[in-house]
Amino acid sequence: MIDCITFETAHYFGDAIAGQHRLRYKVFVEEQKYDVPHFNGMEYDPYDTPAAVYLTYRDQEGIVRGVTRLSPTTMPYMLEEVFSDMVTFAPLVKSDTVWEGTRLAVDPDLDPEMRRRIVAEMMVAYLEYGVKQGLEQYYILMPVAMQTILMERTGWPVTVLGETRMIGGEAVRAIAPKISPEILARVRSKLGVNEPVLQTAADLERRAERVA
């Protein structure tokens, strides 16, 4: 399952918010050597605000092993403020129906098959959240190789927003993946994720009520 966590609902999910910051430190600071803010083994940036939504994968011990962050473009967002030079084919927008996805990270200590499974569930969670919220598309800065695997091979249509550039030794470009129930069904089938994966605080409350 992928937990959908906000600042308001974080108390339902133990220390998952801190856990995702710790995982991001492990991936982006220790492994990828990003020059980004960090404190006490936790990576963060200016877009970790009350508007952010965190999608996290936790193992059976409750340790966060995968994370990505979603942010509304009606607030300041990374592609607009930091990487706007990567967007040359279409203007960026501020819209309730367009959100940004950033900080996708999976624990590098996991075996390759588990890492692939977590990424697949994250992609389905992106679409489940988007459909549930009535979104039309995301903005994502993504390696081209990952886009090929996760979008092109699964039939997930995207709009390419700018030229491909080398960042940290990888070919990267800004894209806008589309969102619809039909795309969700197609991607779910292609990735072999046949059941819903997104779990919200409301889902936990309903489950607790049934048990009670």
- Any residues with CB less than 8 A from the CB of 201 and at least 6 apart, and which? 4, 5, 9, 12, 13
Q: What is the mean pLDDT of the chain?
A: 95
Residue spans of the domains in the chain: they are: 2-207
Q: Which residue has the higher pLDDT, 97 or 209?
A: 97
What are 97's two structure tokens? 């129906």
Contact 147, 196 (CB under 8 A): no
10 SS3 class: helix
**Residue 98 — pLDDT band, cuts 50, 70, 90?**
very high
User: Could you give the CA distance from residue 2 to residue 197 in angstroms, rounded to a whole number?
Assistant: 6
Using alpha carbons, list the distances in angstroms from residue 168 to 34, 97, 150, 171: 9, 31, 20, 8
Average pLDDT over residues 126-133: 98
Q: What average pLDDT does this structure show over 59-63? A: 95
Predicted confidence at residue 212, as pLDDT, reads 63
Q: Which CATH superfamily, name and number, covers 2-207?
A: Gcn5-related N-acetyltransferase (GNAT) (3.40.630.30)
pTM: 0.95
pLDDT recorded at residue 146: 92
Instruction: Give pLDDT, residue 55.
Output: 98
